[in-house]
Structure 1
Amino acid sequence: MNTTYQQIIDVNHIASYKSVEHIPDILALGRSENINPASQDQERNLLLAIDVQNDFMESIGSLAVPGSKDDVQRLTKWMYHNIASLTQIICSLDCHSLMQVFHPVWWIDREGNHPSPFTIITYEDVVQGIWTAANGEHDRSMDYLHNLEIENKKNLCIWPYHCLEGTVGAKLESQFTKMLYFHAAARSTAPRLIYKGQNPYSEMYGIIKAEYDPEHYINFEVLNAVSQYDSIYIAGQASSHCVLASVNQILEYFADNREITSRITILEDCMSPITGFEESTKQQFEALRKQYGIHICKSTDINL
């Protein structure tokens, strides 16, 4: 390519609010490349980028993931080196309102205090009156907590306010955004942005469905896309939560189709776990590899 990586990405501004994307300049650089349109690809490759957003970036995010800054550098380098063969990019974005079941404002204790971030709230806690839904949504909240237990889901964790609609924390990380749109211009395609986590009554770690949802929403747009590509590469944040949940949900849906699940590759050096989940995350991905035939590789070992 005529454009260098450094012309697109300023590594000193990864995970920095000082960076400005200058998207028109990035699009001009992309259009200057003599690369065939993605629509002409004989072998179709998909990147599924999970929640590469400011609020998950170390040093600036309200729910920062240690290692995320270097992850973005490695991911954007991989995208750059594989521009000519990378057909499509789908990005998931966490997108929340203030009043959601996993935010502190939803709950109060007997003294009227909201829970601190990372507090775990169980069904029994609410039965005993330790916590009460502050907004009068008692029955719906109890139903949610009860079904988390019945379905053996994660306990409800109160997260710091993050990825609130309209805030800079909800935006895609700026340097990743630049590579995303360089790819779009160079390959004459457009990224697909998938918003998740907008149901106030549930957590939605995975891109496909919520932890518990009585309406049973399933994101068939993503599932259909996965089925249409020859290879699917997955990266993003955090590997222990939203990436792992997304991979689990995709694999569960295609559990009877090894031909599809074996197309999936986890870019293990382009994602990081939340502190304390390092070993369990590694073990769970390894179990998925054995069960479904997915691949777990470093980005530097994958050339499309």
Structure 2
Amino acid sequence: MKIPFEQIVSLDQIGKGGGKRTNELFSLAQKADVKPAVQDEKKVLLLLIDMQNDFMENGELAVPNSHGDVANTLRFIYRNFEKITDIAVSLDTHHVHQIFHPSWWTDRNGNHPEPFTVITARDVEEGKWLPAFEKEISVEYVKNLERSGKKQLVIWPYHCLEGTFGCALEGQLANMVYFHSLCRGSDVRRIVKGQKPTTEMYGIFKAEYDPTGARNDALLEELRKYDQIVVAGEAKSHCVLESLWQLVEYFAEKGEPASKIYCLEDCMSPIPGFEEATEEAYRRLSRDYGVHLVNSAEWSL
């Protein structure tokens, strides 16, 4: 790579929205002199989960240490520029009125729940919390979350509203991702998720609960073609973790080895309060499915 790291990104601007103009990146790319992705003998996908402004440390749903995670991810891409064939980014994308936002629920006095309130099936049955929209669907949703053993319904701060700064890919990461695309001739795969108002969608392949059982099998099949899938993102405890479970379960169905999946542990952090359960879940992914848990400096093709 002929272009210095500092000409592509500025670590002190992480989370501040200071991205380069795409045409400036294109000019730099003309001088990079790297081989095109189509020449890769082994196909490697870097899958970046929800590394968006609202999950940065100054965002609406801030994940502690997210700036450090982005910095490590930037260095990882730069170090492995000609080993990474494609980059895919998922984008959590919401509307104001969704089942996990405060406006969806009220108590008997018309007050909305505070962020991080947990709403249980019992709360709904006893009338502690009442849905302001889609009453029958909302009640059934909360009940079925618990029946299926999923996380309970958490009311999150408003975040990643479609069209806002918070919904956008973090600026310095966007610089590096699109610079890679320009240099290597590979398209950035954008995965938009979370727009259905009556369900949560932590994982990128399917909702937490959907009576139709809908799943993005086309995307899952796309991922099967890669020799390695490297994963980073936010938050480790929720969207990254659920995406991984969905992916390894699909691979198990198809007889595909989950050992091709590598999690960059220093490029993801949990939401506070979920640390212990998160670490146990990743130990299970490693022990039961063969998923590799590595530091970004240790990964090799």
In structure 2, the residue matched to 1:117 is: 115
Q: C-alpha separation between the residues in 1 aligned to 2:102 and 2:300? A: 44
Q: C-alpha separation between the residues in 2 aligned to 1:122 and 1:37? A: 51
1:72-111 correspondence to structure 2 within 5 Å: 72-111=70-109
Structure 1 residue 133: Cα displacement: 1.0
Q: C-alpha separation between the residues in 1 aligned to 2:218 and 2:92? A: 16
Answering whether residue 3 of structure 2 is matched by residue 12 of structure 1, we say: no
* Equivalent of 2:174 in 177, 198, 202: 177
Q: Which moved more, 1:255-264 or 1:179-188?
A: 255-264
Residue 247 of structure 2 aligns to a residue whose secondary structure is helix
Give ranges in structure 2 of 5+ residues lacking alignment. Answer: none
Q: C-alpha separation between the residues in 2 aligned to 1:175 and 1:222? A: 26
Q: C-alpha separation between the residues in 2 aligned to 1:74 and 1:196? A: 25
With normalisation by structure 2, the TM-score equals 0.97
Structure 1 residue 250: Cα displacement: 0.4
Residue 6 of structure 2 aligns to a residue whose secondary structure is helix
Q: Which moved more, 1:156-165 or 1:22-31?
A: 22-31
Structure 1 residue 259: Cα displacement: 4.5
In structure 2, the residue matched to 1:281 is: 278
Q: C-alpha separation between the residues in 2 aligned to 1:303 and 1:5? A: 20
Q: C-alpha separation between the residues in 2 aligned to 1:218 and 1:14? A: 33
Structure 1 residue 258: Cα displacement: 5.9
Q: C-alpha separation between the residues in 2 aligned to 1:258 and 1:282? A: 26
Q: C-alpha separation between the residues in 1 aligned to 2:280 and 2:234? A: 17
1:258/1:292 contact within 8 Å kept: no
1:180/1:191 contact within 8 Å kept: yes
In structure 1, the residue matched to 2:21 is: 22
- Would the alpha carbon gap of residues 168 and 291 (structure 1) be closer, same or farther in structure 2, given more than 3 Å must change? same
In structure 1, the residue matched to 2:40 is: 41
2:203/2:239 contact within 8 Å kept: yes
Q: C-alpha separation between the residues in 1 aligned to 2:199 and 2:75? A: 35
1:9/1:178 contact within 8 Å kept: yes
Letter of the 2:285 partner, please give it. L
Q: C-alpha separation between the residues in 1 aligned to 2:253 and 2:80? A: 30
1:45/1:88 contact within 8 Å kept: yes
1:181-219 CA-partner distances (Å, limit 9, x unpaired) = 110011011100000011100000001100001122211
Residue 19 of structure 2 aligns to a residue whose secondary structure is coil
How many residue pairs get matched? 301
Answering whether residue 267 of structure 2 is matched by residue 270 of structure 1, we say: yes
Give ranges in structure 1 of 5+ residues lacking alignment. Answer: none
1:46/1:86 contact within 8 Å kept: yes
1:235-250 correspondence to structure 2 within 5 Å: 235-250=232-247
1:30-87 CA-partner distances (Å, limit 9, x unpaired) = 23222221112111000010000000000x2100000100100000110011111110
Letter of the 1:50 partner, please give it. I
Letter of the 2:238 partner, please give it. H
Q: C-alpha separation between the residues in 2 aligned to 1:28 and 1:225? A: 31
Q: Which moved more, 1:20-29 or 1:224-233?
A: 20-29
1:204/1:210 contact within 8 Å kept: yes
In structure 2, the residue matched to 1:148 is: 145
1:96-145 CA-partner distances (Å, limit 9, x unpaired) = 0011000000011111000000011112111111111113x110101101
Q: C-alpha separation between the residues in 2 aligned to 1:84 and 1:177? A: 18
Letter of the 1:125 partner, please give it. D
With normalisation by structure 1, the TM-score equals 0.96
In structure 2, the residue matched to 1:2 is: 2
Structure 1 residue 150: Cα displacement: 1.3
Letter of the 2:26 partner, please give it. L
Residue 272 of structure 1 aligns to a residue whose secondary structure is coil
In structure 2, the residue matched to 1:129 is: 127
2:266/2:296 contact within 8 Å kept: yes
Structure 1 residue 2: Cα displacement: 1.0
In structure 2, the residue matched to 1:53 is: 52
Letter of the 2:14 partner, please give it. I
- Identity, % of aligned pairs? 48
